[in-house]
Amino acid sequence: MKRLICISNRVQAASSGASSNRGGLAVALSAALRESNGIWFGWSGEQTDEFTGQISFRRQDGVATATIDLEAQDIEEYYNGFANRTLWPLFHYRLDLTEIARDFAGGYARVNQRFAETVAPLIEPEDMIWVHDYHLMPLGQRLRERGFSNRLGFFLHTPWPPASLMMSLPGHKDLVKSLLSYDVIGFHTDEWRASFIDYIVTHLGAELDGDHALLDGRSTRLLICPIGLDTSEFTAARDTPAARSAQSRLISSAVGRQVIVGVDRLDYSKGLQERFMAYEQLLTTRPELRERLFLLQIAPPSRGDVPSYQQIRAELNALSGGINGEFASIDWVPVRYVNKGYAREELFGIYRASRVGLVTPLRDGMNLVAKEYVAAQDPEDPGVLVLSRFAGAAAQLDAALIINPHSSEDMADAIARALSMPLEERRERHAAMLASVVKQDVRWWSARFIAALEAPEPSKDRPRLT
């Protein structure tokens, strides 16, 4: 297989055991890179006084990494700005939180140019290049402009928003057009791909030939490629002391009460306020359940420099405090709200000890927590996954209890149903979901994307502009 160069905003090779709040991308990419013997290039997460483009090479947990430091202005305008205050909310359908500023757009263009300049000397003619996520959409075009004719792929880990929302972004046409410099673009679901196709056909005049988009003589394959879990690595946690200890601590502290668990980065896309409100609805309308259950919400803070994240944190503090103040008794706390991360092994034990897994984002590209919850269950006595229809994962995990997170009543009904679900139905639903989690795991995902990247063009006659 040809050498693979992965490029993403941050380089955080996965290391099991460490307590962290690494995103799904880190977990997935390390597995893919170890197998392909590739290089992972990106920002170190460090700040430098002046950008030099100097690369630090390391080997982290079996993965070769190459990182650069960025200037304070880059971090503010590109990362905190355009990536996290403009594109992230826009791509999660939150126009109300989308901040438009020319400085942000300028910083985004500058850092993408810097990525292209610094990664260029590492690229050999035969390498395949796989760029990740919304931070680096124009990078493919910047590399083409430098004369690279390598196979170039891009994977979007978030949803793709409807064209009507995309149009609120100044310069949207150039940005989307730049994506068509790639040979392959991967999406988690048919829904995100369909939104993209709608945009490029309506606003760019692109044509479709099967799953290829054609524009200006270039052809780009639009691939549905749902990310999966490193299922075997994750389930290997079962017999570790950390998993056993977390599981038994949670069970013994529950003193017979049923555990409902949520594990999410503290992010407004995850629907945490709506989840707390639905739980409050459950306790209000079903008093017989009080004292017989509790909600454990693990929510490690993320992107704390961004004002909307500070605000959601304050709102969640108020909501959880309000529920506890209203319903707690001398020996029962209805919400255990924890703003810190746990090691993956501990998470395994926590999922396994929980009767209900609540994954209720308002919008999510995929959501790996849903798959982790399924993988961690005891197949003989599994818990029940309550899953938002707006998570990409719902397209695969349709044996979950699928809910609308905007309806507290809908969610409260589903939690009540999950708590009283007969064993046989739990087993059936779990078996169906586990089969999909095992079959379409992270190796399946990376192999599918890489196969598309390696595949020859459908028509050799079609002129290609570089």
- Looking at the annotation, which residues are catalytic? 157, 364
Instruction: Give 185's contacts (C-beta < 8 A, 6+ positions apart).
Output: 153, 154, 155, 156, 179, 196, 220, 221, 222, 223
Q: Does residue 272 interact with ligand GDG by CB under 6 A? A: no
Q: Which tokens hold the place of 350?
A: 């926590």
Which of residues 7, 13, 27, 185 is near ligand GDG by CB under 6 A?
Answer: 27
d(C-alpha 147, C-alpha 255), whole Å: 65
Q: Does residue 426 interact with ligand GDG by CB under 6 A? A: no
Which of residues 356, 369, 399, 442 is near ligand GDG by CB under 6 A?
Answer: 369
Shortest approach of ligand GDG to residue 109 CB, angstroms? 23
d(C-alpha 18, C-alpha 29), whole Å: 17
Beta-carbon-side half-sphere exposure of residue 189 (alpha carbons within 13 Å): 21
d(C-alpha 179, C-alpha 162), whole Å: 16
Contact 356, 383 (CB under 8 A): yes
Q: Which stretch binds ligand GDG (CB under 6 A): 16-24, 31-39, 141-149, 379-387?
A: 16-24
Q: How many residues bind ligand GDG (CB under 6 A)?
A: 26
Q: Please state whether beta strands 212-215 and 207-209 pair in parallel, antiparallel, or not at all (unpaired).
A: antiparallel
Q: Does residue 25 interact with ligand GDG by CB under 6 A? A: yes
Q: Which helix (H) or strand (E) holds 350?
A: helix 344-352
Shortest approach of ligand GDG to residue 264 CB, angstroms? 7
Residues 30-89 that bind ligand GDG (CB under 6 A): none
Residues 279-318 that bind ligand GDG (CB under 6 A): 298, 300
The SS3 call for residue 168 is coil
Which of residues 2, 3, 15, 21 is near ligand GDG by CB under 6 A?
Answer: 21
Interhelix angle 368-376/24-36, nearest 10 degrees: 80
Q: Does residue 372 interact with ligand GDG by CB under 6 A? A: yes
d(C-alpha 163, C-alpha 174), whole Å: 14
Which of residues 3, 15, 20, 395 is near ligand GDG by CB under 6 A?
Answer: 20
Cβ-based nearer residue to ligand GDG, 9 or 118: 9
x-marked contacts with ligand GDG along 144-163 as a string, rule CB under 6 A: -------------xx-----
Residues 316-345 that bind ligand GDG (CB under 6 A): 341-344
Shortest approach of ligand GDG to residue 450 CB, angstroms? 16
Integer-rounded Cα Rg, in Å, for the chain is 22
Quickly count: other Cβ atoms within 10 Å of residue 327's Cβ. 18
Q: Does residue 367 interact with ligand GDG by CB under 6 A? A: yes
Give the interface with ligand GDG as residue ranges (CB under 6 A): 20-25, 27, 157-158, 227, 263, 265, 298, 300, 341-344, 347, 364-369, 372
